[in-house]
Amino acid sequence: MSSKATALFDQYGDPIRSVGNRGRVMAGGFRGASYSDPDLAAWTPNLYSAHAAYMGDRNPLAARVHDLVRNDGWTAGGVTRVVDTIIGAQFRLTSKPIARVLGIDDDAADELANNIEAEFSMWADDPDCYCDAGRRNSFTGNLGLMFRHRLVDGEALAKIEWLPGRGGIYSTAVKVIDPDRLSNPHNQIDTVSLRMGIALGAHEEPIGYHIRMAHPGDAGVYNPNIWRWEYFARETTFGRRMMVHAFEAERAGQVRGISVLAPIIKKLRMLGRYDEAELQAAVINAVMAAIVESPFDHEQFAAALAGGDELSSYQTQRLGYYDASPINLGGAKMAFAFPGEKVTLTKPSHPNSVFEHFVRASLRNVASALGMSYEQLSMDWGQVNYSSARAALLEVWRGYTARRGHFVAQAVQPIYAAWLEEAIDKGRVKLPSGAPDFYAAKAAYCAARWIGPGRGWVDPLKEAQASAFRIASGLSTLERETAEAAGEDYLENLRQTARERKEIASLGMDWKQFRSQPGGAAPPADDDEEPRPKKKRKEPA
């Protein structure tokens, strides 16, 4: 007999298993690839590329996620809390120009950083909102809108406009674009160099974007721009960014972002339906229902239906009785029933006894997809203690920090670089003597740290003491601790502290009385104070 093996191939021409002599299946080394295991035999997913897996599903996924955010309270609340935690009400710039690369000393770098921060505040926090092309949002407001798109749509899209002569100090402005408008002109099919509205270069790098001039959802409204597309290059010939597209790729070759809610769309939908069903059942059972059983004879009832008057005479007696003594269930009061009748009350069986446990389990799944804890999503803190809350906060914060850093690199820094280029070109940010041109050391000039909302505290006293210890031991710095824990700029705090000390002294008050530590402990001595003499210990007799 022949010992040759016959190979079986899948739709891609790859061997999936081989049949040896006597028809025996020659399995591989991984049970997860088995086609004979009863638990895996029917599981035969296709081997999609990153682009092919999302190409045809992008629009229905986006539409369903948008519907959930509009109509599902858990989804809307979860998205809002993530945006508030990562972006918050004020996203602060801390300029960090690299002195060594720029060929300047640290004092010159600090002076340059102060100049940059002051000018950036003039643009980012302008009350007339000239930093926004639509003049609705501040710089932080635009970032919050972009990051909301980043969560819901899986990607954030914006155009860096140049709008001179409309007012304000700077011409640089940001226009946030709905990712639904990024598509191939006239919905043509994808090609090697054009995928889902993005023009690609030789190395699959984005070189331009095709933007629909109106949202496809405006098809029911007369809008002639709905069938017009415009092409915008990613950057100018001299390197100034014109388009910002921020998303976290999960696989190589991915050109568009995928919503973090995509894996749990079905669960969110079913949870919402179950929640509504339980609520409706509870409302129905909240109304006291009763059934009145009458002793009326069946034969008399049949005769009445045939034309007799027994039923009408009986009903006449009942109506006369109830007119004189009605049964009132709504007022929680009941009169005596007609002789021979009895009232049976229904027994409500809702809400379901396992409803709360089921919702908790489902919300943990949702919270995991959003990168937050169950307690943050549900606002249910009844089953946590300090240790568990602290551990959850640290784990979640690690994810928030990574997500914020990725968004800063892809979205915030390009916008900041475009503004800084204009600020230097206008002479409002003056370069130190001997420093190179902006484009000769762009990365060194644009180096920065961005301060978002602080991590917060579970136990303020314990964590403040731990923070002070890290600073004293050299494990951290005042700048880092102030930014991470409180979301503040340490220089602003120091300047404010100096002003407060000066004001307190001018009023003849002692600064030390504001520095006593909890528990009656004495405050540490200032550097300019003489150390207190230590008391001598008495030797035992």
Per-position DSSP letters for 396-450, written without gaps between them: HHHHHHHHHHHHIIIIIHHHHHHHHHHHHHTTSSPPPTTPPPGGGSHHHHH-EEE
Q: How far is it, in rounded angstroms, from Cα 195 to Cα 204?
A: 10
Q: Supply the pTM of this predicted model.
A: 0.76
Q: How far is it, in rounded angstroms, from Cα 292 to Cα 404?
A: 65
Q: How far is it, in rounded angstroms, from Cα 133 to Cα 177?
A: 11
Is the pLDDT at 334 greater than 60? The verdict is no
Q: How far is it, in rounded angstroms, from Cα 186 to Cα 227?
A: 7
Q: Which segments within 234-306 are labelled E, that is strand?
A: 243-246, 290-293
Q: How far is it, in rounded angstroms, from Cα 368 to Cα 196?
A: 29
Q: How far is it, in rounded angstroms, from Cα 367 to Cα 374?
A: 5
The helix/strand/coil state of 291 is: strand
Specify the DSSP element, H or E, that contains 313. Answer: helix 310-324
pLDDT tens readout for residues 70-127: 998 888 988 999 999 899 989 999 999 999 999 999 999 999 999 999 999 999 999 9
Specify the DSSP element, H or E, that contains 182. Answer: none
Is the pLDDT at 19 greater than 80? The verdict is no
Residue of higher predicted confidence among 4 and 418? 418
Residue of higher predicted confidence among 331 and 322? 322
Residue of higher predicted confidence among 37 and 533? 37
- Please, which residues have CB within 8 angstroms of residue 34's CB and are 6 or more apart in sequence? 27, 28, 40, 41
| CB-CB neighbours of 258 under 10 Å | 23
Which long-range contacts does 434-437 make (Cβ < 8 Å, 24+ apart)? 434/103, 434/104, 435/102, 435/103, 435/104, 435/108, 435/112, 436/102, 436/103
The partner residues of 293 in beta bridges, in order of sequence, read 342
The pLDDT, as a whole number, for residue 44 is: 86
What is the length of the chain? 541
Tell me the percentage of the chain whose pLDDT exceeds 90: 39
Write the CA distances from 303 to 181, 293, 294, 315, 332, integer angstroms: 73, 20, 17, 14, 37
Q: How far is it, in rounded angstroms, from Cα 51 to Cα 494?
A: 51
| CB-CB neighbours of 182 under 10 Å | 22
How many CA within 13 A on the CB side of residue 237? 0
The pLDDT, as a whole number, for residue 211 is: 97
DSSP states along 219-243: GGS--GGGG-EEEEESB-TTS-B-E
The partner residues of 15 in beta bridges, in order of sequence, read 9
Find the largest Cα–Cα distance for the chain.
121
pLDDT tens readout for residues 335-388: 555 556 666 655 656 566 677 777 888 888 888 888 888 777 877 776 777 677
Most confident of 220-224, 330-334, 520-524: 220-224
Given a contact cutoff of 8 angstroms between Cβ atoms, the answer to whether 267 and 366 are in contact is yes
| CB-CB neighbours of 152 under 10 Å | 22
Average pLDDT rounded to a whole number, residues 212-222? 84
Is the pLDDT at 479 greater than 60? The verdict is yes
DSSP letter at 518 equals: G
Q: Identify the band that residue 309 occupies on the pLDDT scale cut at 50, 70 and 90.
A: low
Is the pLDDT at 304 greater than 70? The verdict is no
pLDDT tens readout for residues 46-85: 888 888 888 888 999 999 999 999 998 888 988 999 999 8
The pLDDT, as a whole number, for residue 521 is: 46
Given a contact cutoff of 8 angstroms between Cβ atoms, the answer to whether 419 and 446 are in contact is no
Q: What angle do CA 431, 433, 439 make, to 5 degrees?
A: 45
Which long-range contacts does 479-488 make (Cβ < 8 Å, 24+ apart)? 479/94, 483/94, 483/449, 483/451, 483/454, 484/454, 484/455, 485/454, 485/455, 485/456, 485/457, 486/454, 487/88, 487/90, 487/92, 487/451, 487/452, 487/453, 487/454, 488/451, 488/454
Tokens 């006369």 locate to 320
Q: Identify the band that residue 24 occupies on the pLDDT scale cut at 50, 70 and 90.
A: very low
End-to-end C-alpha distance for the chain, whole angstroms: 104
